[in-house]
Amino acid sequence: MDQHKDKRIYLSSPTMHGEEKKYINRAFETNWIAPLGENVDKFEKEMAEYVGVKDASACVSGTSALFLAYKLAGVKPGDTVICSDMTFAATVNPVSYIGGKQVFVDSEKDSWNMSPQALEKAFEKYPDCKCVGLVHLYGSPAKLDEIKTVCANHGAVLVEDAAESLSAKYKGKQTGSFGDYAAVSFNGNKIITSSGGGMLLSDDVKGIAKARFLSTQARDKAIWYEHSETGYNFRMSNIVAGIGRGQLRHIEEHKSLKKSIYENYKRAFKGYPLKMNPYLDCSEPNFWLSCITLDCGVRITPEEIYRKLEKNNIESRPIWKPMHLQPLFKYNDFITTEEMPVDEDIFRRGLCLPSDIKMSEEDQNRVIEIIKSCF
């Protein structure tokens, strides 16, 4: 019996290094378990320096960081926010928490991210919109120059969701540093993890201070508990921040391993009727997830490949189902400049492949051979 056949190959699981324990133990020794503490303060400082922004606020999740970003952007009940359509629901749900309304914008083919042309078209239809929610999908930066120009021309605040793209660069500059406000995630499947948690990033130092205030129950300065506005329990714990600090030391190593996985797939599938997820020449993705799209006309479907991989104890995942196709958002507007929406086509023909950095060469070859056998 092949002992490797029963080994589970994951899509993208946490990779610990041991250094995380040093920061966790320090929290125990000083009794700063929660809330806050030295790890939180230093994790915020280290992350801001790494991304290249002036300040950061550590949160319990990337979703809570996005919520605060939209709050700082001035989104109020009834406001329209133009959002990336092909993404995870966590990107756009915070708009609903506030009471805003999402308008979804199609992707472009070069990076699978928000189309600047469709964004411009959305502003023609919604000229009063003052906020855009942009996602860098699967670790590949969007067309930031064009998107920032469109936002500037319409006086809109850019909220940048870099949850999947932490460490990726656009023209030499880190994603998460382009938006007026940005959020990253340290969920278990991301390029680094703190078991959970997220971070709000910005050059708006006063805005970050406001976010810290809101995320600690908006307690006013008084010896008693005084509150003049609604607050939230969104601050990261000192233990979680300690894990994140240990992980941050290995982020470039993780990125390099992710890139090797992507390039191995690309070489192996040369000559087969499929393509890897694209990226812009001026960008440096973090290759968080390696994805494929099957060529038009092939008889095999992504679902069949998914099921064959699962039968062999290998985890894969369909491409994010576009938000405008979700039952939750069936009444929201969707803007495209194409006869066939780009993200619908990608969703129909695409699949995310195992991209776990603990995956051995033998493991990846097993994935590759199973996929090849489908054709």
Residue 291 scores a pLDDT above 60: yes
Query: 19-248, which class in CATH?
Result: alpha beta
Residue 46 vs residue 5, higher pLDDT:
46
In the chain, what are the domain boundaries?
19-248, 251-372
Q: What is the mean pLDDT of residues 350-355?
A: 98
Can you tell me the distance from the alpha carbon of 340 to that of 109, in angstroms, rounded to the nearest whole number? 12
Could you read off the pLDDT of 56-75 as tens digits, one per residue?
999 999 999 999 999 999 99
pLDDT score of 185: 97
Task: Identify residue 192 by its one-letter amino acid code.
Answer: I
Residue 210 vs residue 33, higher pLDDT: 210
pLDDT of residue 27: 87
* Average pLDDT of the chain to the nearest whole number: 96
> pLDDT by residue (tens digit) across 96-147?
999 999 999 999 999 999 999 999 999 999 999 999 999 999 999 999 999 9
pLDDT of 30: 86
State the Cα–Cα distance between residues 13 and 298, nearest whole angstrom.
Answer: 31
As a whole-number percent, the residues of the chain with pLDDT over 70 amount to 98
Could you tell me the pLDDT band of residue 3, with boundaries at 50, 70 and 90?
low
Q: How would residue 1 be classed by pLDDT, with cut points 50, 70 and 90?
A: very low
Q: Output the pLDDT for position 4.
A: 58
Q: What is the pTM of this model?
A: 0.95
pLDDT band at 33 (very low <50, low <70, confident <90, very high): confident
Q: Which residue has the tokens 């699981």?
A: 13
- Nearest Cα residue to 289 out of 375, 353, 332, 226: 353
The beta strands (E) that lie in the chain are given as 55-59, 80-84, 101-105, 131-135, 157-161, 169-170, 173-174, 181-185, 198-202, 274-276, 283-284, 291-294, 317-318, 334-335, 350-352
| Cα–Cα dist 82/100, whole Å | 10
Beta strand 350-352 pairing with 317-318: antiparallel
DSSP 295: P
Indicate whether 93 pLDDT > 70.
yes
Q: Cα dist. 225→150, 169, 268 in Å?
A: 44, 44, 62
**Which two structure tokens, joined as six digits, stand for 375?**
């054709």
Q: Which fold has domain 251-372?
A: Aspartate Aminotransferase, domain 1 (3.90.1150)
pLDDT tens string 166-179: 999 999 999 999 99
Q: Could you report the per-residue pLDDT of 239-248, keeping only the tens digit for each?
A: 999 999 999 9
Q: What is the pLDDT of residue 114?
A: 98
- Residue 31: the pLDDT is 85
- Does position 310 have pLDDT exceeding 90, yes or no? yes
| 2: pLDDT strictly greater than 80 | no
Q: How far apart are CA 148 and CA 158, in angstroms?
A: 7
Mean pLDDT of 151-165: 98
Q: What does the pLDDT read at residue 116? A: 98
Q: What percent of the chain shows pLDDT beyond 90?
A: 95
